[in-house]
Structure 1
């Protein structure tokens, strides 16, 4: 096997760049490893290293890259699906181990063994559909935290958020020799969320579909209407993109490719940036931001050319555009109607005014592409496949849970309900955690206390070796000392993949240096900043370099350096953490946290205030950002409301608070305030929102009639179901949009309990009641009722002038068949919007 001359040259150039960044020894180490492989396998392994961020060099063993190369080589030689693929497709989308920001794992051979029998003799198109049906049998949608689990972790879990479903699905497709990639809208413009799906290549073109969502044809998905309103849809390439791809930007080791035009109407937005004196500002960084979840998310970052120009092909919606260079910056709202180049002149950052400013952003309108709708037979087949997949997945996960082993643990070690809950949450990781709990080398209370420091996702993929290393280090820590368990022994620091690092770090310093660091943790931070290089040109900023890898390669970006600081502190017996708001490294002294980073100790206070009885949720109602290096950096909002006050401990600096109200058409009424916090200062901010009129939210339609049946056999028509104030919901149990809606209902159960609102779940059949999320909603919501209907939701949707083919369909009725509010397809906050109509005050949060 050989590469084209051009690709061979590009591979060597990328490698030379990485060797220079890593430093002495990297090239000789890699050449030694490759010398033990066959020439063809060595070539593909070498290519994988050339197209991987340096953090992957640091974090993963050579064997992982070799396994990807061996499997891809077999496909290239033996599979009719991979044999004739063009070189860029094979290298970037079959061979390459990385999809996006997930933890890597050696999974391709395993997945291929599972699906090989299903796809033998099939065309590429048929194989894609068959594989996605198998995917649905293994993994379904469920909301989880922001860390992206590995493909095998998703398989063991049996569920994941859309980013995890899609990385899993892409790995399975690549394992079969089918080029595949994750496609991603970083943030929707019409609702507070994002989404990822899959594109696979066949028949000379890319085709899309929902990951783990079986369909009878390609280029279908529940998200097509939402995607037609996207401001930006992109994919990532870690090698050299094909010549016909449209490049948004190159950021270190990754190239962002623009796929928006395949899903939505687009315009070419041009931005001209000028220096203070009017000259073109070459090399300025232009950020195209989407206001979403009360923060301005940087959807794309592009550097200006020699003429000071930056261009982005994007959807027809309002953007917040910022330019910055050498400490100067400028930010403005760019309307969808902008046709001429947007002019920005760099200036000194404005002094924060400390007062609220109102503004409105307009979302793109939905423009559904012309595609043939599925026939009734295709819909029925897809529904049947989904139901069969749900049952297979349920049985597989049930088999992982060993009740007899639980009883044995209880009888032998005295474990109770807490251990049982941990093992049930472990899903496919049950056996690994049960083995640890059975290990007599460690006291049972300490093992249980350590597991309780971890999140639910950690329980599903943590390796016993990571836990044993922590237990070995914690002989003197009492399991009842929650502070030490959390900030000394816990292997979880940020959102990084859990890994072993204590032994490596303990062996990295002489005893004298360890004593120095224990006495003065600030000296450790200085050592890290002086000894660990940053090489952003070879990195992917969404990834972190794990502590052991950072020490080995002596390379890590700032977030990874902070991770390393905390890991070394914990190794040396110093409680440490990442600041929960801004992410700065912190160590504890006498129970108080301090940051070794200049100016980052949280010694200022921001007190947010609300009116009595109001509910303000971070992300849904307000957000916080810090002004750093000329740009606004979104922050987490930790803590809980104490009555009408939420007090945040922050480092001195300039901050922005944004509040917003999402309208039914997707537009945003927003407000912002910038303020400066000095050390030891406490500032108070009374949260405010723009008023939203009833006219902007309400509709006035008559509901089409339909028939439904209660579980006890009682029959009812639409008028009876809407006799009193009712929220009608046509659901597709197990599908991602419905899961989102049920999650919102559950999170709003306290508000629902105070309202005389009838909740009517309209289901396709009695089998829907087997869905776990639906069961949880029916159990938790006192006024929820299940009804079965054979009538399509289409007439009801059309009577409300919303999309007829998108579920869940949510209709709020305030009397017999009178629709007050309607929403088709999932939209973040749809439950909150409906509840606003049920409250007397419709102009502010409850």
Structure 2
């Protein structure tokens, strides 16, 4: 896959007065943001809360840090229920998506905790936490509904559903009307809303099934590949077929596959579903991509179930110019069989481009805890200039964090540079954790170092941030990018991996 040719668009001239006015507005925005962030639960406060309720300090801080502006609500929930329900209150919070921590209230959290703990029974911990305790089914609005649902059915009815989940499927089929033409798009109605209306589209009804099942102590989920509703019975996931006639409840035969790195594949790229590989099942004349959400590669590295049929594995390697090297392979899954499928990423066979050379990193002064560190080019290095308070630069930092483990394997030098005019009161180099080992922040007074890179590069570079360069151990510039684009971190990692072999 090749992108269209790159065009150099005309630059927009900006006056010094406009630049100054924009900088002043950015400082005001930064002050407003920083003032709000200072109201979040601090690390010290999180540790004290953890000690107060006798729970793991690191886990409590991790949750409160993710909760951001909702951190005091989460803290109050832990204070009220941590001493009563112990670690289970943490497990409930950890089962949620990070976004849920930002906007979920105490009433909702308490409802799901209080009315789930007595359903633990003999279920394994992971099964209970992920498929009974967890309030999140898909992308529906979270709300309190467990106590409500229990109040709508007698104990005898709830026990009957638990003993025979097909009875719950039958109840939903008979009591919830399908309204497929009522909305233009598939909706994610709240379970309580669908129950009260007794009407839903097919997907909302599937969400309702999972919510009801979990409320009654039946492990339930939306199957990871195609989101069909399932319940756990005798250690096997059974299809509920809520949106289909009850009499057609036979399960699709399945086999197991495992993705393995091919022995002859030297590419060390990090495999991420939907980012650089996907699996599609051949159905109704086309390959339909399986919708795995928030699943790490470790899931695919173990045998996992797939319905019987023909499948397509697509991998892609994105190059710095936007070209994607695609590889397609086909495989078949048969009932009861285990299949190993090689996952291979094509490698760029072109030589690494030499964009020019520099004499060093003159003009950089270390910041923060590494202020006494030395700045030198004695090995392959990443040098990046950022605007700390701007989203494009924040995205780059996030990518470097996500790839830190892979980068540490090849151990490049990493310098994150900030122009003196970009330093704001809220900027603190010591707050940037999780980056590759040995990352050094530096201030570039008068952009002396940055200008030397722009002058040395044998390509036209627009002054835009973040600006990212890769320099080899011989001080040759091997990569240059200005302005954010998706996947800069991945491009830099692949290049460094290639340079490490030279």
Query: Under TM normalisation by the shorter chain, which class is it?
Result: 0.7 to 0.9
Q: Offset of 1:706 from its aligned partner? A: 8.0
Which of these residues, 391, 395, 399, is aligned with residue 744 of structure 1?
399
Partner residue, 1:473 = 115
Q: Distance in 1 between matches of 2:117 and 2:155?
A: 20
Partner residue, 1:586 = 230
Partner residue, 1:812 = 470
Return closer, same or farther for 1:453/1:723 CA change in 2, 3 Å cut-off.
Answer: closer
Return closer, same or farther for 1:410/1:827 CA change in 2, 3 Å cut-off.
Answer: closer
String of CA shifts for 1:226-261, please: whole Å, max 9, x gaps.
Answer: xxxxxxxxxxxxxxxxxxxxxxxxxxxxxxxxxxxx
Which of these residues, 249, 259, 271, is aligned with residue 608 of structure 1?
259
User: Does the alignment pair 1:493 with 2:137?
Assistant: yes
Partner residue, 2:39 = 399
Q: Is the 8 A contact 2:223 2:229 kept in 1?
A: yes
User: Does the alignment pair 1:596 with 2:240?
Assistant: yes
Q: Is the 8 A contact 1:656 1:673 kept in 2?
A: yes
Which of these residues, 414, 417, 436, is aligned with residue 762 of structure 1?
417
Q: Offset of 1:568 from its aligned partner? A: 0.9
Q: Distance in 2 between matches of 1:383 and 1:781?
A: 32
Partner residue, 1:546 = 190
Q: Distance in 2 between matches of 1:440 and 1:641?
A: 33
Q: Offset of 1:544 from its aligned partner? A: 0.5
Q: Is the 8 A contact 1:703 1:796 kept in 2?
A: yes
Partner residue, 1:575 = 219
User: Does the alignment pair 1:559 with 2:215?
Assistant: no
User: Does the alignment pair 1:450 with 2:108?
Assistant: no
Q: Is the 8 A contact 1:795 1:804 kept in 2?
A: no
Number of matched pairs: 475
Q: Is the 8 A contact 1:625 1:635 kept in 2?
A: no
Q: Distance in 2 between matches of 1:363 and 1:551?
A: 48
Q: Is the 8 A contact 1:728 1:810 kept in 2?
A: yes
Equivalent residue runs for 1:259-270 within 5 Å: none
Partner residue, 1:461 = 103
Q: Offset of 1:525 from its aligned partner? A: 2.9
Which of these residues, 610, 614, 617, is aligned with residue 271 of structure 2?
617
Q: Distance in 1 between matches of 2:285 and 2:184?
A: 21
Q: Is the 8 A contact 1:760 1:787 kept in 2?
A: no
Q: Distance in 2 between matches of 1:674 and 1:681?
A: 16
Q: Distance in 1 between matches of 2:428 and 2:309?
A: 46
Q: Distance in 1 between matches of 2:304 and 2:197?
A: 37
Q: Distance in 2 between matches of 1:774 and 1:382?
A: 27
Which of these residues, 476, 479, 499, is aligned with residue 821 of structure 1?
479
Q: Offset of 1:505 from its aligned partner? A: 3.0
Q: Distance in 1 between matches of 2:474 and 2:428?
A: 31
User: Does the alignment pair 1:835 with 2:493?
Assistant: yes
Q: Is the 8 A contact 2:254 2:308 kept in 1?
A: yes
Structure 2: gaps (5+ residues): 242-248, 369-374
User: Does the alignment pair 1:687 with 2:331?
Assistant: no
Q: Is the 8 A contact 2:271 2:297 kept in 1?
A: no
Larger displacement relative to structure 2 (618-627 or 405-414): 405-414
Q: Distance in 2 between matches of 1:681 and 1:647?
A: 10
Q: Distance in 1 between matches of 2:102 and 2:127?
A: 24
* TM-score computed with the length of structure 2 as normaliser: 0.80
Q: Is the 8 A contact 1:599 1:652 kept in 2?
A: no
Q: Offset of 1:401 from its aligned partner? A: 2.7
Partner residue, 1:663 = 319
User: What secondary structure sits across from 2:397 in the alignment?
Assistant: helix
User: Does the alignment pair 1:648 with 2:301?
Assistant: no
Equivalent residue runs for 1:204-353 within 5 Å: none
RMSD value, Cα? 3.8
Q: Distance in 2 between matches of 1:648 and 1:579?
A: 12
Q: Offset of 1:546 from its aligned partner? A: 1.3
Q: Is the 8 A contact 2:141 2:189 kept in 1?
A: no
Q: Offset of 1:666 from its aligned partner? A: 0.6
Q: Is the 8 A contact 2:366 2:443 kept in 1?
A: yes
Q: Is the 8 A contact 2:254 2:333 kept in 1?
A: no
Q: Offset of 1:625 from its aligned partner? A: 2.4
Return closer, same or farther for 1:774/1:437 CA change in 2, 3 Å cut-off.
Answer: closer
String of CA shifts for 1:471-499, please: whole Å, max 9, x gaps.
Answer: 33135256994532332222122232211
Structure 1: gaps (5+ residues): 1-360, 714-719
Q: Distance in 2 between matches of 1:834 and 1:410?
A: 39
Which of these residues, 56, 64, 67, is aligned with residue 423 of structure 1?
64
Q: Distance in 2 between matches of 1:421 and 1:454?
A: 13
Q: Distance in 1 between matches of 2:337 and 2:97?
A: 34
Q: Is the 8 A contact 1:471 1:489 kept in 2?
A: yes
Partner residue, 1:265 = none
String of CA shifts for 1:744-771, please: whole Å, max 9, x gaps.
Answer: 2222223322335222222112836954
User: What secondary structure sits across from 2:477 in the alignment?
Assistant: strand
Q: Offset of 1:560 from its aligned partner? A: 1.9
Partner residue, 1:362 = 2
Return closer, same or farther for 1:728/1:427 CA change in 2, 3 Å cut-off.
Answer: closer
Return closer, same or farther for 1:634/1:481 CA change in 2, 3 Å cut-off.
Answer: closer
Q: Is the 8 A contact 2:281 2:309 kept in 1?
A: yes
Return closer, same or farther for 1:728/1:529 CA change in 2, 3 Å cut-off.
Answer: same
Q: Offset of 1:776 from its aligned partner? A: 2.2
Partner residue, 1:673 = 329
Return closer, same or farther for 1:407/1:831 CA change in 2, 3 Å cut-off.
Answer: closer
* TM-score computed with the length of structure 1 as normaliser: 0.50
Q: Is the 8 A contact 2:53 2:83 kept in 1?
A: no
Return closer, same or farther for 1:573/1:442 CA change in 2, 3 Å cut-off.
Answer: farther
Return closer, same or farther for 1:757/1:439 CA change in 2, 3 Å cut-off.
Answer: closer
Q: Distance in 2 between matches of 1:441 and 1:790?
A: 52
Q: Is the 8 A contact 2:382 2:471 kept in 1?
A: yes
